[in-house]
Chain A
Amino acid sequence: MANQKILIIGGGPGGLEVARGIAELGYEAVLVEKRDRLGGTPDEASYAALTPDLRPAEEALNEMIEPVVNHPNVEIMYNTLVHDAEGELGNFRVKALQLGKEVEIEAAAVIVCTGFTHFDPGRETQKYGYYEHDDVITLVDCEKMLKAGNFVRPSNGEKPKRVCFIQCVGSRDRQIGNEYCSKVCCGIASKQAIEIRQHVPDCKVYIFYIDMRMYGYWENEIYWPAQEKYKVNYIKGIATEILKKGDRLLVKGEDTTLRRPMEVPMDMVILSVGMEPSGGTKEMAKIFGLNQNKYGFIETTGGPLDTVSTNVPGVFAVGACTGPADLEDTVSMAGLAAMKAISAMRKLAPVSA
Chain B
Amino acid sequence: MPVDKNQIVEKEKVVVDGIELTAEWNRMFEQRVVADYDDSVLDRITSIAGAESLGWCYQCGQCVPVCPVDTVGGEYGPRKVYRKVQQGIDLLTDPDLWKCTTCANCLRVCPKAVNMIEIMPAVREEAVMEGEGVPEELQEAFENTFEYGNPLGESQRKRADWVKETGAEVPILKEIKKPVDVLWFVECYPAYHARGKEASAALAHIMNTLGVDYGILGTEEKCSCDSQRLAGETGLFEEFAEENIKTFGKYKFNKILVTDPHALNALRKEYPKYGGEYEVVHYTTFLAPLMKKLEFKNKLDYKVTFHDPCYLGRHNGEFEAPRQCIEALPGVELIEMWRCKANSYCCGGGGGGMWLDGFMADHVQERLSENRVKEAIETGADVLAVCCPYEVSRFEDAVKSTGNEGKLLVKDIAELIREAMG
Contact = CB atoms under 8 A, between A and B. Distances in A.
B11 to A, nearest CB: 18
A257 interface: yes
Given A227-B58, A257-B59, A257-B83, A235 B33 contact: no
B56 A227 contact: yes
Contacts of B58: 212, 223, 227, 234
B39 A204 contact: yes
Interface string B64-88: 0000000000000001000100110
A146 to B, nearest CB: 22
B34 A261 contact: yes
A204 B42 CA distance: 12
B64 to A, nearest CB: 11
B83 A262 contact: no
B32 A261 contact: yes
A258 B83 contact: yes
B338 interface: no
B65 to A, nearest CB: 15
A37 interface: no
A342 B86 CA distance: 56
Contact of A262 (B33, B79, B86): B33
Contacts, number: 50
Interface string A101-140: 0000000000000000000000000000000000000000
Interface in A220-246: 223-224, 227-228, 231, 233-236
Contacts of A233: 37, 39, 42, 86
Contacts of A255: 34
B87 A258 contact: yes
B314 to A, nearest CB: 25
Nearest to B46: A231
A227 B55 contact: yes
B17 interface: no
A228 B56 contact: yes
B4 interface: no
B33 A261 contact: yes
Given A257-B59, A258-B83, A258-B87, A231 B32 contact: no
A212 to B, nearest CB: 8
B54 to A, nearest CB: 11
B34 A258 contact: yes
A206 B43 contact: no
A58 interface: no
A347 interface: no
Given A231-B39, A257-B83, A262 B55 contact: no
Given A228-B55, A231-B39, A264 B34 contact: yes
Contacts of A212: 58
Kindly name the residue among A204, A227, A228, A264 whose own CB sees the greatest number of chain B CB atoms within 10 A.
A228
Contacts of B36: 264-265
B35 interface: yes
A310 B250 CA distance: 84
**Most A CB atoms within 10 A — which of B35, B46, B56?**
B35
Contacts of B39: 204, 231, 233
A294 interface: no
A257 B39 CA distance: 17
A75 interface: no
Nearest to B55: A228
A264 B55 contact: no
A245 to B, nearest CB: 12
A207 B410 CA distance: 52
Interface string B322-361: 0000000000000000000000000000000000000000
B33 A231 contact: no
Contacts of B35: 262-264
Contacts of B42: 231, 233
A174 interface: no
Nearest to B59: A257
A38 to B, nearest CB: 39
A263 B34 contact: yes
Nearest to B36: A264
Interface string B26-61: 000000111111010011001000000001101100
B37 A264 contact: yes
A261 B87 CA distance: 13
Contacts of A236: 59
Contacts of A258: 34, 83, 87
B200 to A, nearest CB: 46
Nearest to A260: B34
Nearest to B86: A233
Nearest to A263: B33
B34 A262 contact: yes
Contacts of A224: 56, 112
Contacts of A234: 58-59
Contacts of A223: 58
Contacts of B37: 204, 206, 233, 235, 264
A261 B79 CA distance: 19
A279 to B, nearest CB: 38
A194 to B, nearest CB: 15
B33 A260 contact: yes
B56 to A, nearest CB: 5
Nearest to B52: A228
B82 to A, nearest CB: 10
A167 B15 CA distance: 42
Contacts of B32: 260-261
Nearest to B84: A258
Contacts of A227: 55-56, 58
Contacts of B87: 258
Given A228-B55, A260-B34, A262-B34, 10 more contacts: A204-B37, A231-B39, A231-B43, A233-B42, A234-B58, A235-B37, A257-B79, A262-B35, A263-B35, A265-B36
26 contacts: A204-B37, A204-B39, A206-B37, A224-B56, A224-B112, A227-B55, A227-B56, A228-B55, A231-B39, A231-B43, A233-B39, A233-B42, A235-B37, A236-B59, A255-B34, A257-B59, A257-B79, A257-B83, A258-B34, A258-B83, A260-B33, A260-B34, A261-B34, A262-B35, A263-B35, A264-B36
Interface of B: 32-37, 39, 42-43, 46, 55-56, 58-59, 79, 83, 86-87, 112
- 9 smallest CB-CB distances across A and B, nearest first, come from A262-B34, A261-B33, A255-B34, A228-B56, A260-B34, A263-B33, A233-B39, A257-B59, A257-B83
Interface of A: 204, 206, 212, 223-224, 227-228, 231, 233-236, 255, 257-258, 260-265
